[in-house]
């Protein structure tokens, strides 16, 4: 029989207080407890009309990390585009919130597609700004719903740079090889960040069609792109990349040098795909 935690019950009750400071403290304490029994009462508290309390509730649910909180939080974000939570998520310091919500999305969501359908509807409207749309695009990548590959490819080709970056990330998360040829078109894009994220996506997808273009990317002018290319080649596991990676062991940039070293270890000693040619 599950033992009742009197402090937990006390803080759950305090979520109903008329005093927002008490509700705020209760949400903080429930999140810090990391007790999954706090998930349901915190979800019920999401509509709180106090911005500080609402932030504490979302933060608490993220700390607990139970996937059942994903849909309610995302529904809140879809219905409250001007909320204080959104305001915080748009800031640089909001990265923890953004990543926390992304990490809550369950892998099996695509079985009913309800979440991805809501997100798609939001992307087709004009309610949300560029930052919000980019976040929703990233969410599509976490839904495991490959039915949206075509939409993500369209966004990658037609949209602004922040949404292109989000679409490339999402395609990498979905891992569908249909995206490979289009992603490779962006290996020469003017944006360093797009090139880097596209390369990372190709590494996640795991299609060795990308090996030759990625070996060329090892000579990119940007060190972050070279690092990403080295890591992706290690992940692809095709030993043809060994001769291209070896010179990077003398790379002056230590980040790139380390990535090349790790990739060569994978190719030399780890499991790898059958070499073509």
Domain ranges of the chain: 1-96
**pTM here?**
0.86
Q: Would you give the distance in Å from CA 257 to the centre of its chain?
A: 26
Environment class of 64 (CB within 10 Å of its CB; exposed 0-12, middle 13-18, buried 19+): buried
Nearest CA to 90 out of 33, 155, 162 is that of 162
Nearest CA to 119 out of 128, 108, 194, 158 is that of 128
Distance CA 179, CA 202 (A): 9
Environment class of 211 (CB within 10 Å of its CB; exposed 0-12, middle 13-18, buried 19+): buried
Nearest CA to 37 out of 9, 62, 70, 56 is that of 9
Q: Could you tell me the two tokens for 206?
A: 């795991």
Q: Tell how many helices (H) and how many strands (E) occur in the chain.
A: 17, 0
The mean pLDDT values, 10 residues at a time, for the chain of 277 residues are 66 93 95 93 94 94 93 92 90 88 77 74 88 94 90 95 96 96 97 97 96 97 98 95 95 96 89 41
What CATH architecture is 1-96? Answer: Alpha Horseshoe (1.25)
| First vs last C-alpha separation in the chain | 62
- Give the pLDDT of residue 275: 41
- Give the pLDDT of residue 2: 42
Q: Could you tell me the two tokens for 69?
A: 């909180």
Cβ–Cβ contacts within 10 Å for residue 61, how many? 27
């Amino acid at each position: 029989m599950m033992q009742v935690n009197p402090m937990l019950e006390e803080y759950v009750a305090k979520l109903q207080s008329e005093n927002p400071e008490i509700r705020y403290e209760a949400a903080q304490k429930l999140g810090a407890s990391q007790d999954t029994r706090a998930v349901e009462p915190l979800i019920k508290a999401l509509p709180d009309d106090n911005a500080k309390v609402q932030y504490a509730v979302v933060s608490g649910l993220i700390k607990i990390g139970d996937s059942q909180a994903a849909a309610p939080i995302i529904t809140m974000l879809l219905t409250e585009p001007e909320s204080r939570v959104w305001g915080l998520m748009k800031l640089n310091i909001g990265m923890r919130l953004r990543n926390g919500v992304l990490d809550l999305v369950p892998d099996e969501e695509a079985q009913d597609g309800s979440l991805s359908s809501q997100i798609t509807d939001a992307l087709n409207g004009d309610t949300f700004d560029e930052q919000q749309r980019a976040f929703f695009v990233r969410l599509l990548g976490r839904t495991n719903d490959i039915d949206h590959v075509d939409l993500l490819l369209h966004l990658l080709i037609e949209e602004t740079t922040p949404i292109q970056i989000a679409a490339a990330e999402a395609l990498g998360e979905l891992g569908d090889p249909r995206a490979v040829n289009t992603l490779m078109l962006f290996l020469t894009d003017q944006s360093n960040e797009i090139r880097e994220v596209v390369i990372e996506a190709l590494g996640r997808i795991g299609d060795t069609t990308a090996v030759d273009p990625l070996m060329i990317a090892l000579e990119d002018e940007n060190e972050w792109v070279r690092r990403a290319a080295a890591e992706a080649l290690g992940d692809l596991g095709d030993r043809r990349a060994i001769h291209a990676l070896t010179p990077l062991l003398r790379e002056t940039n230590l980040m790139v040098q380390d990535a090349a070293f790790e990739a060569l270890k994978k190719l030399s000693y780890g499991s790898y795909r059958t070499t073509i040619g």
